[in-house]
Amino acid sequence: MPLIGVTACTRFVDRHVVHGAAAQYVEAVAAGAGGAPVILPALASRTDFDAVVARLDGLLLTGSPSNVQPERYGGEPARPGTLQDPARDATTLPLIRRAIEDGLPLLAICRGHQELNVALGGSLHQHVHELPGRADHRAPADEPNEKRYAFAHSVRLVSGGVLAGLASTDEVVVNSLHSQAIDRLADGLVIEATSPDGVIEAVRVATAKSFALGVQWHPEWHIAADALSRAIFAAFGEAARDRARRRAAAR
């Protein structure tokens, strides 16, 4: 069974700083990718990135209520009250670069999708719903999660891309819970999907040695009922198993 790292956020719980990941990500790694999930704490420079990557067979970059700090990509200062997680940024951004260098299979979801772009030199819109012609991609905070993570809008898949191959169609419907979105696409990333208003909804690493995909939506919520969500995690899991087999053969 491949060992798959799951990135953690930091937050205050009962007056303590806690490193954690939502259950949906952990369960999707186990049930959808067939992997053994291990949560990676956001220890920033105290992380031995080479050692972490060497021990993993896959890396899942999770979503989060927090935003990537704009100084990480040369953006305007964040508005007061914007939730940020500097420890996570300082952990995931170098980890992404090391993972890609090593050919570690990677699946990036929502904030993780944005982190992937920033780690490779791209930038973000901080409030995409305020841009002319763009829709509101946020979900109401006061709704139950079943509604917040329900399918919300269509995305068009790029012909010949990884997602189009997994879906065997050129358009699917996804959920939507984000205010940030990719602005300047990083060199080395290729667009895999866009929303009707032009938001970049999925990317892949063009020269990746293995599976390396980012999606703006949340497939972890729908692996039981949605074919593309299942296919994304299955492809990620198969890439992780292939790495596990190669690592075992090299011992």
- CA dist 198 and 211 (Å) reads 25
> 130 — alpha (psi -120 to 50), left (phi > 0) or beta?
alpha
pLDDT surpasses 90 at 141: no
pLDDT at 161: 96
pLDDT surpasses 90 at 44: yes
Q: Provide CB contacts within 8 A for 140, sequence distance 6+.
A: 147, 148
pLDDT at 166: 97
Q: Provide CB contacts within 8 A for 112, sequence distance 6+.
A: 7, 60, 61, 62, 63, 92, 214
- Work out the pLDDT band at 29, boundaries 50, 70, 90: very high
pLDDT in tens, 52-90: 999 999 999 999 999 999 999 999 999 999 999 999 999
- CA dist 167 and 228 (Å) reads 6
pLDDT in tens, 120-130: 999 999 999 99
pLDDT surpasses 90 at 140: no
pLDDT in tens, 145-200: 989 999 989 999 999 999 999 998 999 999 999 999 999 999 999 999 999 999 99
From 9, 178, 220, 222, active-site residue: 220
* Annotation marks residue 220 as catalytic: yes
pLDDT at 169: 92
Is there a contact between 118 and 67 (Cβ–Cβ < 8 Å)? no
- Work out the pLDDT band at 136, boundaries 50, 70, 90: confident
pLDDT in tens, 193-251: 999 999 999 999 999 999 999 999 999 999 999 999 999 999 999 999 999 999 999 87
Is there a contact between 127 and 178 (Cβ–Cβ < 8 Å)? no
From 110, 125, 137, 201, active-site residue: 110
* Annotation marks residue 110 as catalytic: yes
pTM above 0.75, yes or no: yes
- CA dist 83 and 92 (Å) reads 17
